[in-house]
Amino acid sequence: MWLARWFDAVLIWRMRKGSVEAICRQTGYRPPGYLLTLSQAYAASGRRDEAISTGEAARRLANESGAPDLARTIANALSSYREGD
């Protein structure tokens, strides 16, 4: 668990440095949690369409990998993006 939190902290730091997209590229756009972080970064920067498409990919990957809690979290984020919050 601590390792996942450490990776999250690193991602947040790297996102602040503008390289969350590079991290996702390096991981082949596969870890759904990373894609969720990328979709959140897009949403925060006003890139709504990219936030939605990235979030949808993250939700699909979460479902495929058997992570229903993460898929629900992503679905909630997608609802927020679609509502414009």
Closest by CA to 33, choosing from 18, 6, 46, 16, is 6
pLDDT tens readout for residues 21-50:
888 888 999 999 999 989 988 888 888 999
- Contact between 40 and 77 under an 8 Å Cβ cutoff? The reply is yes
Domain chopping of the chain, boundaries: 18-83
pLDDT for 3 beyond 90: no
Read off the pTM.
Answer: 0.77
Q: Where is pLDDT greater, at 1 or 62?
A: 62
DSSP letter at 19?
A: -
Across the chain, mean pLDDT equals 85
